[in-house]
Amino acid sequence: MSSVVKVILGSIAFAIFWVLAVFPVVPFLPIGRTAGSLLGALLMVVFGILDPVDAYDAIDLQVLALLFGTMVVSVYLERADMFQYLGMFLSWKSMGAKDLMCRICVVSAVSSALFTNDTSCVVLTEFVLKIARQENIPPHPLLLALASSANIGSSATPIGNPQNLVIAVESALFSFGSFMTGMLPAVLVGLVLNALVLLVMYWKVLSIRKEDEGDVNTQMLLPATMFHVPSNLNENRNAGHADTPGLESGVSLEERETTHLVVHEMSEYDVVENTSGKWRRILWKTCVYLVVVGMLVSLLMGLNMSWTATGAALALIALGFEDAQPSLAKVSYSLLVFFSGMFITVEGFEGTGIPSSLWAFAEGYVQVTSAKGVAVLALVILVLSNSVSNVPTVLLLGARFADSKAFRTRDDLKKAWLILAWVSTVSGNLSLLGSAANLIVCEQARRSPHLAYNLSFWRHLKFGVPSTILVTVAGLTLIS
């Protein structure tokens, strides 16, 4: 195959993947992101850009294992009511809408750093909308706080988002602790700046309670009651003795007392059973939390991240002592398939030589030892992340970093990887289409039974542009 034909066919395959990944419901082929990823991978093989063996070798099993392990851990944490506790914290002794929004920023960031941003957004969106309805607060500042803080907070750890998983594995330069140490100052400052932008932009909105609109089913906003006590429970008393509910008035006193004794014993048995089940539940939840803490400690000690996450997932499955299928069914296998197809597609696009040519043009301007070079590198990452998407951007640029002349020392290379992690993640706040977390919050809010709300593209962009610029620049200053 001539190089020109290879470039054309490889570009067509990558373009199809890109269109379906960014716009999964395009009218001419509405097959979704996962199928689009597989189609791009298949075309790379069919067009002869990659042979089947090279295509399979392009799939990074370490990233897939780490992603699978963290998803299973998140499922069991949800079963152990971790996210319910986080939701309760949001409204506990809240001092108003502004205090609530700041709490959402903190909770979203912390949960995203430990349990991935997509998982946090899926679970916490319902809590945020429920509280907004109860407190009669306009929901859009709270939704923006949730999505943007999830993206910023997820950049703190290698398990916070998919692109960080790729960076931690592909760079082979970071332990869990060293990555977090390098990113944490930027994350903390970024969260504060993001919260300040939200407060400045929506101070008046948060100061005025939203007027109640229409009838609301308040039943689903109240705690569920465990049982209902019949109103006639204490009726039908005779000669100082209470009749047992359900017995006819003609039953003898001796039979009534015997029946009452049996009912009383059964009631005590039920209490013992309920108490026993309650303590088993508490013990199981405690074990789940201990396993997760052990996983985080192991990661901080520098153990292999993929095997540690997978081991923690298997430990949680064993602790359940039941068929794990219902829990494993909640794992997003479509995401794992999407990543597999994306690895192959990006590897095929690498074979066309286009990414290398573009990098050769920009390489002389991306010195991480100068402010100008850092700015150029950040701009390249920002543009690519909002056009190609962040994970392909990390795969394409990361492949250039190791052999680049722009990064002469190991410290320069580590700094470049951290800049890639920071900008590719935070740039997702620029627009509604910038990250999966934004789209998850938007879609969850649109379908919510508590307070359906449509977060528009322009409303997000109005906040996203100033927030992204301030947070990105501040983070780059600290990382550099």
Q: Decide: pTM greater than 0.85.
A: no
Is 426 a member of any domain? Answer: no
Confidence at residue 208, expressed as pLDDT on a 0 to 100 scale: 67
3-state secondary structure of 386: coil
Is 201 a member of any domain? Answer: yes
User: Of 48, 150, 63, 139, which Cα lies nearest the Cα of 101?
Assistant: 139
Residue 232 pLDDT greater than 50, yes or no? no
Same domain for 30 and 174? no
Same domain for 48 and 63? no
Q: 59 is written with which tokens? A: 């799939």
Q: Position 275: which residue type? A: T
228 CB burial (10 A radius; 0-12, 13-18, 19+):
exposed
344 CB burial (10 A radius; 0-12, 13-18, 19+):
buried
Lowest mean pLDDT of 8-22, 183-197, 380-394, 445-459, name the range: 445-459
Same domain for 342 and 200? yes
Same domain for 68 and 156? yes
Confidence at residue 241, expressed as pLDDT on a 0 to 100 scale: 40
Instruction: Give me the sign of the Cα torsion angle 336, 337, 340, 346.
Output: negative
State the average pLDDT for the chain: 80
Same domain for 149 and 64? yes
Residue 471 pLDDT greater than 90, yes or no? yes
441 CB burial (10 A radius; 0-12, 13-18, 19+):
buried
Residue 70 pLDDT greater than 60, yes or no? yes
Q: Which of 52, 68, 92 is the last residue of a domain?
A: 52
Residue 240 pLDDT greater than 80, yes or no? no
Confidence at residue 244, expressed as pLDDT on a 0 to 100 scale: 38
Is 447 a member of any domain? Answer: yes
Residue 394 pLDDT greater than 80, yes or no? yes
Confidence at residue 221, expressed as pLDDT on a 0 to 100 scale: 34
256: left (phi over 0), alpha (psi -120 to 50) or beta: alpha
Same domain for 44 and 101? no
- Residues 250-264 have pLDDT tens digits of 445 455 545 554 445
Residue 371 pLDDT greater than 60, yes or no? yes
Same domain for 181 and 324? yes
Same domain for 197 and 343? yes
3-state secondary structure of 370: coil
Q: How far is CA 3 from CA 8, 17, 51, 353, 358, in A?
A: 9, 21, 16, 9, 16
Confidence at residue 224, expressed as pLDDT on a 0 to 100 scale: 31
Is 176 a member of any domain? Answer: yes
Q: 306 is written with which tokens? A: 């993929």
Same domain for 151 and 3? no
Across 339-364, average pLDDT: 85
Across 210-228, average pLDDT: 35
Residue 109 pLDDT greater than 60, yes or no? yes
Confidence at residue 263, expressed as pLDDT on a 0 to 100 scale: 47
Is 205 a member of any domain? Answer: yes
For the ranges 28-42, 144-158, 397-411, 452-466, the maximum mean pLDDT occurs at 144-158
User: Of 106, 119, 129, which Cα lies nearest the Cα of 210?
Assistant: 129
Interhelix angle 305-320/61-79, rounded to 10 degrees, is: 40
Residues in contact with 437: Cβ distance below 8 Å, sequence separation at least 6, in sequence order: 112, 117, 118, 120, 121, 147, 150, 151, 154, 428
- What is the domain range of residue 132? 59-210+252-349+435-465
Is 420 a member of any domain? Answer: no
Is 228 a member of any domain? Answer: no
- Residues 83-102 have pLDDT tens digits of 778 777 777 777 778 888 89
For the ranges 152-156, 373-377, 427-431, the maximum mean pLDDT occurs at 152-156
Confidence at residue 273, expressed as pLDDT on a 0 to 100 scale: 55
Confidence at residue 433, expressed as pLDDT on a 0 to 100 scale: 67
Same domain for 132 and 25? no
- Residues 159-218 have pLDDT tens digits of 888 889 889 888 888 888 899 999 999 999 999 999 999 999 988 887 765 444 333 333
Is 225 a member of any domain? Answer: no
Same domain for 163 and 263? yes
Same domain for 30 and 81? no
Residue 344 pLDDT greater than 60, yes or no? yes
For the ranges 122-126, 211-215, 326-330, the maximum mean pLDDT occurs at 326-330
3-state secondary structure of 245: coil
Structurally, the chain folds into a number of domains equal to: 2
Confidence at residue 455, expressed as pLDDT on a 0 to 100 scale: 73
